[in-house]
């Protein structure tokens, strides 16, 4: 779909044109009459007569016969995401990012199979491996994402899929996706990548070797901290499987949320550029501070993963972490509570800045925290999601936080 958009168009322009098929932004008499696909709220789609009903139930993308197959609003969002993902044959929408990860993994794994999971995966993804997938007789094995040799060594004939996430949750290690994907594909594994951090503008996942690219649209695409959605995009090899599994699970998303996500998508490029630029400035500044032991920000030269990020990524975002030099959890709480512009809460990728404490040590199986080379006393960190506030204001706020940390 979106075949009417000329090839070679830049991503910035594609963000503006994608998903706006004329027959979804108007009436049959006046196609393209409005800019945005209207919110089609529908469970029932009416047929003109019995002949039309007996003609069958179209299941092709963008066709409707019942609300669970989506209305033009949902298809416009799916269509737009497909247009932004080079190599995608289609995109399936889910009610959250976690639902998208479950949908993707259930599409490629069967009882008796083994899933290989990166050790820095998002916590609910780790729990899914141990919980839901385990209950279905699927075993999960964790591996160090920064060690392709150990990854290759752990693969045997029962391994059917690998779940990558780069940069990883909380600690933001950037792994060599092309190298890991090549190893996995050579052994017949499906490569599922959680690409929420960079999205397709920063990391064209399918072109870099992933078979299925998953995103929590709750973050950058929604962008305004007021919706939950997820997506999974795939090329010809896996798209039909993804869609079949989602249909079997009864997955459908609301037209209202889809409309909000489409609206968010239009400004995603601008927001990401601004947030990336502020995050880089703030991470440089934090790196120079005596209170800070380590900044974990792929965009920052010298930070873990920066070299691979520079090689493989065309953009970043506002999400990064840092670790305090010594002290304890109470000092960290004093830092967080002294901030006035950073909301305290989970999630990220909104227009407003957020802070959360991180404790990666409890979320490691195949690797260690603190990272090798770090002082074991430096273990208390925070994750910052940098929003669209003024840079000087954010820096002043962090300065307040560091003073409170020092005084604690």
Ligand X SMILES: *Cc1c(COP(=O)(O)O)cnc(C)c1O
Which stretches of the chain bind ligand X, using CB under 6 A? 96-98, 122, 165, 169, 194, 196, 216, 218-219, 228, 230
- Between residues 25 and 169, which has the closer beta carbon with respect to ligand X? 169
* Sequential DSSP letters for 182-237: HHHHHTT-EEEEE-TTTHHHH--TTTTT-SEEEEETTTTTT-SS----EEEEE-HH
Provide the CB-side half-sphere exposure for 109 (13 A, CA): 32
Q: Which of 20, 160, 219, 294 is catalytic?
A: 219
332 is catalytic: no
Q: Which of 189, 262, 254 is nearest to 223 (CA)?
A: 262
What phi and psi, each to the nearest 5 degrees, are found at residue 126? -60, -45
Cβ nearer to ligand X, comparing 159 with 317: 317
Residue 208 a catalytic site member: no
User: In this complex, which beta carbon is closest to ligand X, that of residue 230 or of residue 269?
Assistant: 230
Is 221:229 a contact under the CB 8 Å cutoff? yes
**Strand-pair partners of 74:** none
Q: Angle 108-111-117 (CA atoms, 0-180°, nearest 5)?
A: 55
CB of 368 to ligand X, least distance (A): 21
Least CB distance to ligand X at residue 118 (A):
11
- Report the C-alpha gap between 365 and 371 in whole angstroms: 13
Choosing from 122, 238, 239, 380, the catalytic residue is 122
Place of tokens 């594909």: 185
| Residue from 41, 68, 110, 187 carrying the catalytic annotation | 68
Q: Which is nearer to ligand X, 21 or 383 (CB)?
A: 383
10 Å Cβ neighbour count for 385?
25
DSSP codes of every residue in 283-297: HHHHHT-TTEEEEE-
Q: Which residues of 72-95 are buried (b: 16+ CB within 10 A; e: fewer)?
A: bbbbbbbbbbbbbbebbbbbbbbb
Nearer to ligand X, 73 or 216 (CB): 216
Output the smallest distance, CB 94 to ligand X, in A. Answer: 8
Q: How far from 180 is each of 22, 40, 120, 155, 187, CA to CA, in Å?
A: 41, 42, 15, 12, 11
Q: Minimum CB separation from ligand X for residue 217, in Å?
A: 7
Rounded Cα–Cα distance for residues 322 and 342 (Å): 15
The reply to whether 380 belongs to the active site is no
Q: Is 68 annotated in the active site?
A: yes
- All residues at 6 or more sequence positions from 277 whose CB lies less than 8 Å from its CB, including other chains: none
Catalytic residue among 194, 211, 257, 397: 194
- Closest by CA to 42, choosing from 69, 77, 80, 79, is 69
State the minimum distance, in angstroms, from the CB of residue 230 to ligand X.
5
122 or 151: CB nearest ligand X: 122
Query: What is the smallest separation between the CB atom of 377 and ligand X, expressed in angstroms?
Result: 28
Closest residue to ligand X, based on beta-carbon distance: 97
Q: Which residue has tokens 């989506």?
A: 70
- Which of 231, 367 has the CB closer to ligand X? 231
> What's the rounded Cα separation, in Å, for the pair 355 and 342?
6
Give residues with Cβ within 8 angstroms of 31, minimum separation 6: 22, 23, 25
The nearest distance, CB 379 to ligand X, in angstroms, is: 21
Pick the closer one to ligand X by CB: 73 or 195.
Answer: 195
User: Least Å distance between CB 122 and ligand X?
Assistant: 4
> What does the alpha-carbon distance between residue 335 and residue 295 come to, in Å, rounded to a whole number?
16
Mind telling me the catalytic residues?
68, 122, 194, 219
């Amino acid at each position: 779909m979106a075949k009417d958009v000329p090839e070679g168009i830049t991503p910035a322009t594609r963000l503006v044109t994608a998903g706006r098929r004329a027959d979804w932004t108007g009436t049959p008499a006046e196609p393209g009459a409005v800019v945005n696909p209207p919110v089609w709220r529908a469970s029932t789609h009416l047929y003109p007569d019995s002949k039309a009903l007996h003609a069958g139930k179209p299941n092709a993308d963008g066709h409707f016969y019942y609300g669970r197959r989506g209305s033009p609003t949902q298809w416009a969002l799916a269509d737009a995401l497909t247009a932004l993902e080079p190599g995608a044959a289609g995109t399936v929408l889910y009610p959250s990012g976690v639902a998208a990860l479950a949908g993707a993994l259930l599409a490629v794994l069967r009882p008796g199979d083994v899933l290989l999971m990166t050790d820095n995966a998002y916590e609910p993804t780790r729990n899914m491996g141990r919980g839901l997938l385990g209950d279905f007789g699927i075993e999960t094995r964790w591996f160090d994402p920064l060690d392709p040799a150990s990854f290759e060594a752990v693969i045997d004939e029962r391994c059917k899929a690998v779940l990558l996430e780069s940069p990883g949750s909380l600690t933001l290690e950037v792994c060599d996706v092309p190298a890991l994907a090549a190893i996995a594909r050579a052994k017949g594994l499906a490569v599922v990548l959680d690409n929420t951090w960079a999205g397709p503008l920063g990391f064209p996942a399918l072109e870099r070797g992933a078979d299925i690219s998953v995103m929590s649209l709750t973050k950058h695409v929604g962008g305004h901290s007021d919706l939950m959605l997820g997506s999974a995009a795939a090329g010809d090899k896996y798209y039909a499987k993804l869609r079949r599994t989602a249909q079997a699970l009864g997955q459908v998303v609301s037209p209202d949320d889809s409309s909000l996500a489409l609206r968010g998508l239009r400004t995603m490029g601008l927001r990401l550029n601004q947030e990336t630029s502020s995050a880089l400035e703030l991470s440089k500044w934090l790196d120079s501070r005596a209170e800070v032991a380590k900044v974990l920000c792929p965009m920052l030269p010298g930070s873990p993963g920066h070299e691979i990020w520079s090689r493989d990524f065309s953009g970043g975002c506002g999400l990064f972490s840092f670790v305090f030099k010594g002290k304890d959890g109470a000092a960290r709480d004093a830092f967080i509570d002294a901030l006035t512009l950073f909301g305290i809460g989970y999630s990220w990728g909104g227009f407003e800045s957020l802070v959360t404490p991180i404790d990666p040590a409890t979320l490691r199986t195949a690797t260690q925290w603190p990272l090798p080379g770090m002082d074991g006393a430096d273990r208390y960190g925070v994750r910052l999601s940098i929003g669209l506030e003024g840079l000087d204001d954010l820096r002043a706020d962090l300065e307040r936080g560091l003073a409170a940390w020092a005084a604690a």
